[in-house]
Amino acid sequence: MKAPTATHCPYCALQCGMNVAAGSEESGAGETVTITPRQDVPANAGGLCQKGWTAGELLTGGQRLTTPLLHGEPAGWDEALDYVADRIRQVQAEHGSDGVAVFGGGGLTNEKAYQLGKFARTVLRTSQIDYNGRFCMSSAAAASNRAFGMDRGLPFPITDLAEADAVLLAGGNVAETMPPFLRHLTAMRERGGSLIVVDPRLTATARQADLHLQPTPGTDLALALGLLHLAITEGHLDEAYVAGRTTGFDAVRTSVASWWPERVERITGVPVAHMRQAVAILGGAGRAAILTGRGAEQHAKGTDTVTAFINLALALGLPGRPGSGYGCVTGQGNGQGGREHGQKADQLPGYRKIDDPAAREHVARVWGVDPRDLPGPGRSAYELLDALGTAGGPRALLLFGSNPVISAPRAGHVTGRLGSLDLLVVSDLVMSETAAMADVVFPTTQWAEEGGTMTNLEGRVLLRRRAVTPPPGVRSDLEILQGLAVRLRGLFSGEHASAGADPARAFSTEPREVFDELRRASAGGVADYAGITYERIAAETGVFWPCPAEDHPGTPRPFLDGFPTPDGRARFVPVEHRPPGEDVDEEYPLYLTTGRVLAHYQSGAQTRRIAALNAVVDETFVEVHPDLAERLEVSAGQLLRVVSRRGVAEGVARVNPAIRADTVFMPFHWAGANLLTNPELDPVSRMPEFKVCAVRLERVG
């Protein structure tokens, strides 16, 4: 067996460190791959979850794609790339540049996310690019940007949580979604600190909490307003901090004056005594953190909900103080870096706004194009998927690292839109449900078969190293983009492109070369990577951005001396609670909420192919409270039909007192849950309302 290679897990944004050792230089079916945790990565410090321990199975199993597919039949690489390039030319000749769209993923390395955005804007000249990270933490990003002037999941090292005296986690179930995260909260509690969890379900994380607040789905915003009301009226306001480091508090004080606790209890179902207890814990802590997860963020009012929790954190004087603050528990592996460098509809590398003339000038200079040729903002993720194949919408889609047939809201409708396209191209490592619909499928490398960087939930840039050789016939996404750029040279070298532009050089296949260009493109931006090198990442076990120069130490705690706002102060923003986009009624009397289970990840395209994980959970289910089960005469194991205004899904019943009696839960790793979910969008972040919709239950048979 060859010496182990130090790299990182392919799954969540914790990006746990692991060592990968293969039986030989070549991987393939039957090959042995051994995974052990690394001790030198603070996020996991020797721990892994079952997804991490079993991650090697996809490297050696027989379910990999290893040859391009053209209309379902094996094809050579040149044949497949030529076909895609020719069809792109035809579509754009008929429908214009925006006739072709690009959809990326939050699991792509920084280099691939950067190159994908560059390809869309300089080769295709399309504004139609977004990614599935829009479905992840876009609401938290929008709220953080308007409050702090910067969006970084945790603006402090994760190890700070172990030193806190109290943590409030709203809408996160880290015990199942990223188990090594829980060790930091456990360490806090072992020191005498308190954990408060806000969740409609008594999850594995909530069972670890000292206090569980169990609101009605869709009412987290009202709860946050009530907690702030109590913090002010019960003497926990940090007046010196508010006066010295923030603006806008008076308007927020006025806006929460009417959110007295009894009113909040009527809306949320959370007892007043529990709210008072939560505020007393947070207000009495020397160091405290407030964290939000998808449960609070995946709503049509997600940005305002996160803003309300940020307002609470600011009133308590937390952000910018060592061991304290507000943070977002990022979900996807590169959910942070994936949106910083250009695959989001409204952004350019470095977290620059695409409609900012100075940003366009800077990035265009790095790319060697005229800034006038860069397109403007495009459609957000769901709006892009919804427009596919329609009059005025894209007629072709290139999709990298995503599976919207399973993961998009109102998934049945999105599947129909994908099916209406003139051209669907998917780059993936397995035959996902979306790849199965594609005209062309490109087999691509996966995590341990390629190098590159990832940015974890702390804003720490990490080095992914190649540990095994990919199977014959497989290419990296960087190679695929270069192959298309070369074939579309005429589009790339338009009248404003730099003289002699060479797409083969402009689209390098070497991750280090792409990263060095990314450093130049991000220089001076909010997410400044200019001083980060592969050598520094390896020597320092990751480097925190912003890092504007190679002699800069990086910035693990960016708010200590001020906030990156024009006046250096954090901004309070008044917000108001409103009902979910779709409330319960006589026809649909129950709330549906969705989430994850310990054994699986995202759309399940990878984890559902691992036997050890399927042995834990191998089918979707519907979790119901015993009182609801009794009322509907439902027993455990019975097949149930869940019906919403958008679709129908089935799953076996799990009867569990951990959920509210007015709510049912379905995991979204299988086809089903997202056939039901509501695509109503947050007006700021464009986040769909995944976490609450109205449904009814029917017994099957």
Please say whether the dihedral angle defined by the alpha carbons of residues 166, 171, 177 and 178, taken in this order, is positive or negative.
negative
Dihedral in degrees, nearest 10, Cα atoms 84, 85, 90, 91: 60
Task: Compute the mean pLDDT over every residue in the chain, rounded to the nearest whole number.
Answer: 95
- C-alpha pair distances (Å), 407 with each of 11, 136, 178, 604, 668: 16, 11, 19, 9, 7
| Beta-strand runs (E) in 110-224 | 129-131, 166-170, 194-198, 211-213
Please say whether the dihedral angle defined by the alpha carbons of residues 22, 27, 30 and 35, taken in this order, is positive or negative.
positive
User: What is the rounded CA–CA span in Å between residue 172 and residue 560?
Assistant: 26
Beta bridge pairs of residue 399? 103, 426
Asked if 468 contacts 20 with a C-beta cutoff of 8 angstroms, the reply is yes
pLDDT score at 642: 98
Q: Does residue 599 register a pLDDT over 90?
A: yes
Confidence label for 495 from pLDDT (cuts 50, 70 and 90): very low
Beta bridge pairs of residue 196? 168, 211
Confidence label for 499 from pLDDT (cuts 50, 70 and 90): very low
CA 140 to mean position of chain CA atoms? 10
CATH number of 69-135+334-544: 3.40.50.740
Question: How confident is the model over 419-428, as a mean pLDDT?
Answer: 98
Which pair of tokens denotes residue 118? 């560059």
Domain residue ranges in the chain: 5-60, 69-135+334-544, 138-329, 590-699
pLDDT score at 30: 52
Confidence label for 1 from pLDDT (cuts 50, 70 and 90): low
Scanning 108-173, the segments in alpha helix (DSSP H) are 110-118, 138-148
Asked if 506 contacts 368 with a C-beta cutoff of 8 angstroms, the reply is yes
Asked if 620 contacts 642 with a C-beta cutoff of 8 angstroms, the reply is no
Element at 624 (helix H, strand E): strand 621-624
Nearest by Cα to 131 from 409, 330, 342: 342
User: What is the rounded CA–CA span in Å between residue 686 and residue 347?
Assistant: 14
pLDDT tens string 59-87: 987 789 999 999 999 999 999 999 999 99
- CA-based diameter of the chain, in Å? 74
Domains 5-60 and 590-699 share a fold: no
HSE, CB side, 13 Å, CA atoms: give it for residue 476.
23
Asked if 655 contacts 624 with a C-beta cutoff of 8 angstroms, the reply is yes
Which pair of tokens denotes residue 430? 């397995």
Q: What are phi and psi of 636, to 5 degrees?
A: -60, 135
User: What is the rounded CA–CA span in Å between residue 669 and residue 564?
Assistant: 38
Please say whether the dihedral angle defined by the alpha carbons of residues 503, 504, 506 and 508, taken in this order, is positive or negative.
positive
Nearest 5°: the CA angle 412, 414, 419 is: 95
User: What is the rounded CA–CA span in Å between residue 509 and residue 102?
Assistant: 19
Beta bridge pairs of residue 400? 427
CA 295 to mean position of chain CA atoms? 13
Nearest 5°: the CA angle 693, 584, 597 is: 35
Which pair of tokens denotes residue 16? 């746990």
SS3 for 15?
coil
CATH architecture observed for domain 5-60 = Single Sheet (2.20)
Percent of the chain with pLDDT over 90: 93
User: What is the rounded CA–CA span in Å between residue 34 and residue 645?
Assistant: 47
Element at 452 (helix H, strand E): strand 452-455
Which pair of tokens denotes residue 276? 């008072």
Percent of the chain with pLDDT over 70: 97
Which pair of tokens denotes residue 243? 């006066």
Scanning 57-109, the segments in alpha helix (DSSP H) are 57-60, 77-95
- Residue type at 619? E
pLDDT score at 70: 98
pLDDT score at 24: 60
Token pair 């799953």 is found at 651
pLDDT score at 490: 64
Asked if 331 contacts 12 with a C-beta cutoff of 8 angstroms, the reply is yes
User: What is the rounded CA–CA span in Å between residue 165 and residue 284?
Assistant: 9
CA 111 to mean position of chain CA atoms? 17
CATH architecture observed for domain 138-329 = 3-Layer(aba) Sandwich (3.40)
SS3 for 682?
coil
Asked if 48 contacts 20 with a C-beta cutoff of 8 angstroms, the reply is no
pLDDT tens string 425-470: 999 999 999 999 999 999 999 999 999 999 999 999 999 999 999 9
pLDDT tens string 121-142: 999 999 999 999 999 889 999 9
HSE, CB side, 13 Å, CA atoms: give it for residue 549.
2
HSE, CB side, 13 Å, CA atoms: give it for residue 254.
5
Question: How confident is the model over 632-653, as a mean pLDDT?
Answer: 96
Token pair 């504007």 is found at 548
User: What is the rounded CA–CA span in Å between residue 72 and residue 9?
Assistant: 31
Which pair of tokens denotes residue 689? 């309302």
Question: How confident is the model over 171-195, as a mean pLDDT?
Answer: 96
Residues sharing a CB contact under 8 Å with residue 578, sequence separation 6 or more, in sequence order: 221, 301
Question: How confident is the model over 204-213, as a mean pLDDT?
Answer: 97
Asked if 102 contacts 119 with a C-beta cutoff of 8 angstroms, the reply is yes
Token pair 């955005």 is found at 117
Q: Does residue 613 register a pLDDT over 70?
A: yes
Cα-trace Rg, the chain: 24
User: What is the rounded CA–CA span in Å between residue 412 and residue 416?
Assistant: 6
Asked if 194 contacts 315 with a C-beta cutoff of 8 angstroms, the reply is no
Residue 63 per-residue DSSP state: -
Residues sharing a CB contact under 8 Å with residue 383, sequence separation 6 or more, in sequence order: 681, 686
Residue 397 per-residue DSSP state: E
Q: What is the pTM of this model?
A: 0.96
pLDDT tens string 526-573: 999 999 999 999 999 999 999 999 999 999 999 999 999 999 999 999
Instruction: Give the pairing of strands 73-74 and 69-70.
Output: antiparallel
Phi-psi region of 45 (alpha: psi -120 to 50; beta: other; left: phi over 0): left
pLDDT score at 27: 52
Confidence label for 491 from pLDDT (cuts 50, 70 and 90): low
pLDDT score at 502: 83
Q: Does residue 500 register a pLDDT over 50?
A: no
CATH architecture observed for domain 590-699 = Beta Barrel (2.40)
* Other beta carbons less than 10 A from residue 597's beta carbon: 20
Beta bridge pairs of residue 197? 169, 212
